[in-house]
Structure 1
Amino acid sequence: MATVKAILYKSKKKSDGKYSIAIRVTKDRKSKYFFLEWIDEKYWDVKNFRVKSAHPNSRRLNNLIAKKVAEADDTILEYEASKKHYAINDIINVLKGEKITLSFFDLAEEHILQLKKMNKANRAVSDNSKINTFREFINKDELLFDEITEQLLNKFKAYLVAKGSVSERSIMNIFILIRLLYNRAIKMGIADRQRYPFGESKIRISLPESIKIGLDEDEIRRMESLELENGSPILHTRNVFLFSFYLAGIRISDVLKMKWNDIKDDRLYYRMGKNNKITSLKIPKAIFEILEYYKSEKIKGSDYIFPELKKADENNPEDIYIKTKTAIKKFNKYLGTLAKMAEIDKKVTTHIARHSFGNIAGDKISPHMLQKLYRHSNLSTTIGYQANFIHKDADDALDSVLNF
């Protein structure tokens, strides 16, 4: 719930030494101010949040303060009672006597704050970056939902394409976030469905297909057989990559969060960061060999298996996210070197461990079993993903026509 308080705003001072009386509205640890009149500091009653009686216009000013505080409090109570969404600007606009409006960026900021409260730091950082890209294009801090038109979004897309550094998929992901916030605003009654800029014959969102290429069996063996210096960063990188691959391509962010007490009776139990699912996998022999390498650094059961998060603040999801992101960037650098050493003519990154498992699995494993191994919520997701690596039928069909 928002709070309202009358203060003497001392962050700005007039040339005659006076400060402005202000009504401060605070919500979700963010404050905005509605300014009244300027007075000398000696006339402000800090304890009672009012103008001292010694001021010649104290009665008028205190009535004005009481009126504005009451207006703000009444508006907040009305919103809270009806369970309607509101932002600080809505309260400030009431004090200004203006029509209540909600800025797109106000709703976006609350969206980011909510993600942080839910400990979804990676999503919060990613979505905040998308919002900042849109804000950079708009070049102002307030944007009403009515202003988000097809024309505006088409100009935004052209702006991103002209930059040359933003992929089509990244552009669509920004549009998906804008659409999500617009739909949320419609449900809250602060945006008009008739002005909705998305849909058929309007802005259509279509994610481009991405090419998924994994390593084959021979390439994995060549990587495994490399002679690497004990204790070196490149050996550690290979260990993390293969740990992910051996366990059906567990995401590196989840691998780094694994602890020794996640291992029980030769099985690994862990919670998947992307969808919060708990899963269990049998630990292959090759994984035990990797674990042996790190046992000397084990302090206790709750200690991380790999070193990247040992100094992270476990109660700070953002700190964990930053350290994980830094580690992945380092891993990808060394994986490029490993690829050259193993004579692999493919771009090898941490994510390709998952693609490699899919590529080698091909059609050897049933889709239902792959769904379980991949931890997908829907079988259709598994079938769509695995289709990237199954080419035999198409290859045979082509050969049947061309072999004449």
Structure 2
Amino acid sequence: MSKERPSHISFLEFWKQRINEIREEGRESYAKMNEETVRVFTNAEGDVPIPAINTLLVEHFKKWMIKKGYANGNIGLRLTHLKARINELIKTGVLKTDVHPFVYTKIPTADPKECDLSIEEFQKIQRAEVEGKRLNLGRDMFLLSFYLCGINLKDLLSVDLSVDILSFERIKTVHARTGKSVITIPIHSEAKAIISKYINKSGFLDLGYSYTYSNLQKYINLCMRELKEHLGIKQTLCFYSARKTFAQFASELGIPDGVIDYCLGHSDKNRGIIRYYTKVKQKQAEIAINRVIDYTNNPEKYTEYIEMRADIMLMKG
């Protein structure tokens, strides 16, 4: 972000400049989301001079979206973008205010997306022998993401999978100003079996499509929806389901939240510029992955433990 901003430009001019900078950083998806937020904000408030940004403006924007029937998740996303831009203006001294414009406005969160599978549903996918390119691709991408701790599609397509130990920083956090996080995890044998079907000579996945990333993402989710129907799975099945399911199984098995966060690549904002116990976390992550995968292969081994742990948690509550 540029350190100096002319104070005479309007808020929308500033925001559009930031979108251009975000796009130049390679964050195309975030740039497009901000463009949509600018469109919504313009419909609600029009253009405003930067000094006019205050608590009343922010609260009016929120109420306008509520009145228009926007879902909580959508409202939360738009307000988060707005707050980020306002914070940038305050940080650079362009917006001078004694009271932060968001001080009285609570940003709503999206309703939880129920897309984690039960162990029975997971095993349906794990053990399914399906025919056809779509069903196989849907099955393989779900399982591969799961075996790699719920890695998202963009990261999966950008990492070298010819190695035994995968070490990468999530694309989502590369440009983050705080909480950057490198994940180092082993590539389990179950993952290697799937990777071998799609890996190219350079070590990257080649799914055989020349789609844009956005279209490929939609296509894979379509494949997963068809797999869900084919196998009679009731729960929502999408690429994100692998991440949610891994986290859910790990939690049920008693794996500490900090280790689960490391496996998922959640930013560690409380650790400062680096994790103090990186090697310890890597070893814990390896144990966690082995345990989760063993659970999916032999759930009966863990039934008594999971039930006992659930009873203990119930008594604590």
Superposition TM-score tier, normalisation by shorter sequence: 0.7 to 0.9
1:52-71 Cα shifts (integer Å, max 9, x gaps):
xxxxxxxxxxxxxxxxxxxx
C-alpha spacing 1:168/1:122, structure 2 compared with 1 (3 Å): same
* AA at the equivalent of 1:245: F
Secondary structure at 1:268 match in 2: strand
What are the equivalent positions in structure 2 for 1:303-322 lying under 5 Å apart?
A: 304-308=205-209, 311=210
Cα distance in 1 between the residues matched to 2:148 and 2:203: 21
1:174 to 2:75 alignment: no
1:61-114 Cα shifts (integer Å, max 9, x gaps):
xxxxxxxxxxxxxxxxxxx9xx7322xxxxxxxxxxxxx622111111121112
Q: After alignment, is 148-157 or 103-112 more displaced?
A: 148-157
Indicate the structure (1 or 2) with the bigger Cα radius of gyration: 1
Q: Which residue of structure 2 lines up, in the alignment, with residue 267 of structure 1?
A: 165
Cα distance in 1 between the residues matched to 2:84 and 2:230: 45
Q: Which residue of structure 2 lines up, in the alignment, with residue 335 of structure 1?
A: 224
Aligned-residue sequence identity (percent) comes to 21
Q: Which residue of structure 2 lines up, in the alignment, with residue 144 of structure 1?
A: 49
Q: Which runs of 4+ in 1 moved over 4 A?
A: 379-382, 390-401
Are the aligned partners of 1:112 and 1:128 in contact in 2 as well (CA < 8 Å)?
yes
Shift of the alpha carbon at 1:273? Answer: 1.0
Shift of the alpha carbon at 1:245? Answer: 0.5
Are the aligned partners of 2:150 and 2:242 in contact in 1 as well (CA < 8 Å)?
yes
Q: Which structure has the highest helix share of the two?
A: 2
Secondary structure at 1:280 match in 2: strand
What are the equivalent positions in structure 2 for 1:51-70 lying under 5 Å apart?
A: none
Q: Which residue of structure 2 lines up, in the alignment, with residue 279 of structure 1?
A: 183
Shift of the alpha carbon at 1:130? Answer: 1.3
Shift of the alpha carbon at 1:134? Answer: 0.8
C-alpha spacing 1:392/1:325, structure 2 compared with 1 (3 Å): farther
1:114 to 2:21 alignment: yes
* AA at the equivalent of 2:112: S
Are the aligned partners of 1:213 and 1:359 in contact in 2 as well (CA < 8 Å)?
no
C-alpha spacing 1:392/1:111, structure 2 compared with 1 (3 Å): farther
1:7-53 Cα shifts (integer Å, max 9, x gaps):
xxxxxxxxxxxxxxxxxxxxxxxxxxxxxxxxxxxxxxxxxxxxxxx
* AA at the equivalent of 1:275: T
RCO higher in structure (CA 8 A, sep ≥6)? 2
Are the aligned partners of 1:256 and 1:324 in contact in 2 as well (CA < 8 Å)?
no
What are the equivalent positions in structure 2 for 1:97-112 lying under 5 Å apart?
A: 101-112=8-19
Q: Which residue of structure 1 lines up, in the alignment, with residue 287 of structure 2?
A: none
1:85 to 2:5 alignment: yes
Point out where structure 2 has 5 or more consecutive residues left out of the alignment: 175-180, 272-280, 282-305
Shift of the alpha carbon at 1:120? Answer: 1.6
Are the aligned partners of 1:214 and 1:355 in contact in 2 as well (CA < 8 Å)?
yes
Are the aligned partners of 1:102 and 1:190 in contact in 2 as well (CA < 8 Å)?
no
Point out where structure 1 has 5 or more consecutive residues left out of the alignment: 1-79, 87-99, 313-322, 383-389
1:156 to 2:57 alignment: no
Q: Which residue of structure 1 lines up, in the alignment, with residue 244 of structure 2?
A: 355
Provide the alpha-carbon RMSD of the alignment: 3.2
How many residues align? The count is 276
Cα distance in 2 between the residues matched to 1:377 and 1:196: 25
Shift of the alpha carbon at 1:246? Answer: 0.9
Secondary structure at 1:351 match in 2: helix
1:378 to 2:282 alignment: no
What are the equivalent positions in structure 2 for 1:171-250 lying under 5 Å apart?
A: 171-194=75-98, 196-199=100-103, 202-207=104-109, 210-230=112-132, 232-250=133-151
* AA at the equivalent of 2:66: V
1:285-330 Cα shifts (integer Å, max 9, x gaps):
22222123225xx3x316543344xx47xxxxxxxxxx22222222
* AA at the equivalent of 1:205: I
Cα distance in 1 between the residues matched to 2:315 and 2:94: 59
1:326-348 Cα shifts (integer Å, max 9, x gaps):
22222222222212222221111
